[in-house]
Amino acid sequence: MPRRSEAEPSTPLFADEPAADAPLAARMRPRTLEAFVGQPHLVGDEGALTKVVRPGYLPSMVLWGPPGSGKTTLARLLADRSGGTWRQISAVTSGVADIRQLVSAAKSLREAGGRTVLFIDELHRFNKAQQDALLPHVEDGTIVLIGATTENPYYELNSPLLSRLRVYRLEPLSEEQLRVIVERALAEEHGLAGRVSLDDEGMASLLDLSGGDARQALNILEAAASVAPDGAALAREPIAEAAQQRLLAYDRVGDQHYEAASAFIKSMRGNDPDAALYWCASMIAAGEDPTFIARRIVIAASEDVGNADPRALQVAVAAMQAVEMIGLPEAQYALAQAAAYIASAPKSNRAGAAYFSALADVEEHGRLPVPLHLRPSAHRRLAREFGYGKGYLYPHDFDEADVDQQYLPDALAGKVYYEPSDQGLEGQIGERLGRLRRQRLERRGG
């Protein structure tokens, strides 16, 4: 295929200019990589994509990032830089038949010396059959595939297809990067030049409400400008009114779901009730299922607090019951109470760690025989013929309801799984168990 020299400037592959009445975000789409704002780790001087994309070469890839981070624009600019022919479909509206039609055209173009860059928006929405239909044509180079997704491709894409794609992560835009985009929209002729401006408070409000999403920032700005008189300097109020409410970038089955839940759990584990309440509130405000939040609190009560404060599990279970019985919005109080309690409680994971240590022995040795003296003696024939229950010592007949007696299988006799911490109530539990263990050793003469 014809190759441009490395020094030749990038010219727009998509030379058709958007209509004058197109949305501001479409009108402000950058036309060259040099004008692209953000993602310096990918397209900066030492960016990962800067190093691999050149005239005549573009690898198949997935661009993974939040809405408004520039995935579609970046894909088009990369296709332009490589000299490929751009084709675009959406995974929401396209199927296998559309893929076959595009592949047929790509084969013809390849025979003529050209190359097709196929961009698929929301690639994660393609099912297995649709992804499988792409696989051989990506593998043999008939098409260069660029997929865009807001979801983690390592979860959402089939392994065979993913293994043939490079994954590049895009980050939300910083306020400084958003400011460059907004100022460009206010200054350029095909933007809002001479139409409106922003005062300092208006700019701060717009950047804050946009949440790192350039498209959102431009949409809010355009909405505010549409009802303002020419030459107006937009302040905080018209921006807030145009936005209506802060954008909550959250998908209950996607990355934002798992990321917020992870932050919530780790904040409770890390003794930070303020952060725990923030992440709890962020999930509820975004429409998360409150029973999901309640389950996470119950898990943390056992996994992270454990016997350092056994009341934590009671509080967590009560909150989960409150969610089931009364629902939102009233159940927010119960969730907040439980989350704050778990985050503030002393922590110990010793009980859980002891359990999984015991489970490892079960998996290694199988279920070992129960010692005869621990087996039920209710069946007299079994007790008489095999010694079931013979020699069992009833703890309540002894001081402190404790007696030196083997309870583990013979192969594991004497093994210690549970070592209480010194945190909270578990410290008292540890003191008692330590005293009983010492007394047993003394009785044995040890």
From the list 183, 219, 232, 226, the residue with the least C-alpha distance to 203 is: 183
Q: Which domains, from first to last, does the chain contain? A: 24-169 (3.40.50.300), 175-243 (1.10.8.60), 255-344 (1.20.272.10), 367-443 (1.10.3710.10)
Q: What's the pTM?
A: 0.56
> Quick one: 227 exposed, middle or buried, by C-beta within 10 A (0-12, 13-18, 19+)?
exposed
Tens of pLDDT along the chain (446 residues) come to: 333 333 333 334 444 566 667 888 888 888 888 889 999 899 888 888 888 887 778 899 999 988 888 999 999 998 888 888 899 888 877 778 888 888 999 999 988 888 889 999 888 888 888 888 888 898 888 899 999 988 888 878 888 888 889 999 998 899 999 999 999 999 988 888 888 889 999 899 898 888 888 888 998 998 888 888 888 888 888 888 888 754 444 455 455 677 888 899 999 999 999 999 999 998 888 778 888 899 999 999 999 999 999 999 999 999 999 998 988 888 899 999 999 999 999 999 999 999 999 999 888 888 888 888 888 876 666 666 677 778 888 888 888 888 888 888 888 888 888 888 898 888 888 888 888 888 888 877 75
> Which pair of tokens denotes residue 334?
């119960």
Q: Which residues are CB-neighbours of 279 under 8 A, at least 6 positions away?
A: 260, 263, 264, 267
H or E stretch covering 87: strand 85-90
265 and 281 Cβ atoms separated by less than 8 Å: no
How far apart are the C-alpha atoms of 205 and 236, rounded to whole Å?
6
